[in-house]
């Protein structure tokens, strides 16, 4: 769901953006949907000497900070009308599946070690260590323990795409992926 947003670390999110500089006002070009691979943004700055990049960062930071304030003020009312519940359910189901698979792989390891047979999920390294491989499957979203430390404030920086329209920004956000998605989704529909 929402492949344009990936979590790199707790509170650190990469967002893929398709920027369209030269607009009158910075805004979302289209409402966000589950299948979008990029966030389409109109940027109110010319594509000259980094002006559009600076405006992109400023706009994203403003949207996320404003959304965070509204979310903190009334969390249940804010997420109403967004896909927040779907995202939370999907992430918890994926995390549960990942835990079940890792438990079964670990149990399989013990059996295979006793029998002396290898398994597909295990490969031996040259130094004799056992290494678990992902088997080409995408990893499940990160699940945060209750005491997880998030960034203290919102901070947005441009990571990739200084001279192109396809850009990647890093958003440090003191919350979960589902909360950030709700903020972006709400702002794109406004």
Report pLDDT for 84: 74
Predicted local confidence at residue 148, as pLDDT: 54
**What residue ranges of the chain have pLDDT lower than 70?**
92, 95, 98-151
pLDDT of residue 132: 34
pLDDT given for residue 23 in this prediction: 94
Q: What is the pLDDT of residues 8-48, one digit of tens each?
A: 888 899 999 999 999 999 999 999 888 889 999 999 999 88
Give the pLDDT of residue 103: 59
Q: In the prediction, which pLDDT does 12 show? A: 93
CATH of domain 1-90+147-189: 3.30.1200.10
pTM of the model: 0.68
What separation, in Å, do the N-terminal and C-terminal C-alpha atoms of the chain show? 21
Residue 54 confidence (pLDDT) = 94
Cα 69 to Cα 73, 78, 180, 185: the distances in Å are 6, 10, 12, 15
The ranges assigned to domains in the chain are 1-90+147-189
Distance CA(57)–CA(50), nearest Å, equals 11
């Amino acid at each position: 769901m929402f492949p344009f947003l990936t979590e790199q670390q707790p509170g650190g999110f990469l967002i893929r953006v398709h920027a369209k500089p030269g607009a009158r006002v910075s805004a979302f070009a289209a409402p966000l949907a589950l299948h979008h691979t990029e966030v389409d943004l109109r940027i109110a700055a010319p594509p000259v000497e980094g002006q559009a990049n600076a405006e992109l960062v400023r706009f994203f930071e403003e949207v996320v900070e404003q959304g965070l304030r509204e979310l903190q003020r009334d969390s249940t009312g804010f997420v109403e009308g967004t896909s927040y519940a779907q995202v939370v359910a999907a992430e918890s189901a994926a995390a549960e599946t990942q835990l079940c698979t890792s438990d079964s792989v670990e149990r399989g390891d013990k059996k295979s070690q006793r029998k002396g047979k290898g398994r597909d999920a295990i490969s031996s390294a040259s130094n004799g260590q056992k290494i678990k491989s992902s088997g080409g499957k995408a990893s499940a979203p990160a699940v945060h323990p209750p005491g997880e430390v998030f960034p203290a404030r919102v901070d947005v920086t441009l990571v990739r795409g200084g001279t192109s329209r396809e850009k990647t920004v890093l958003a440090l956000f003191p919350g979960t992926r589902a909360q950030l998605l709700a903020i972006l989704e709400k702002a794109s529909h406004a």
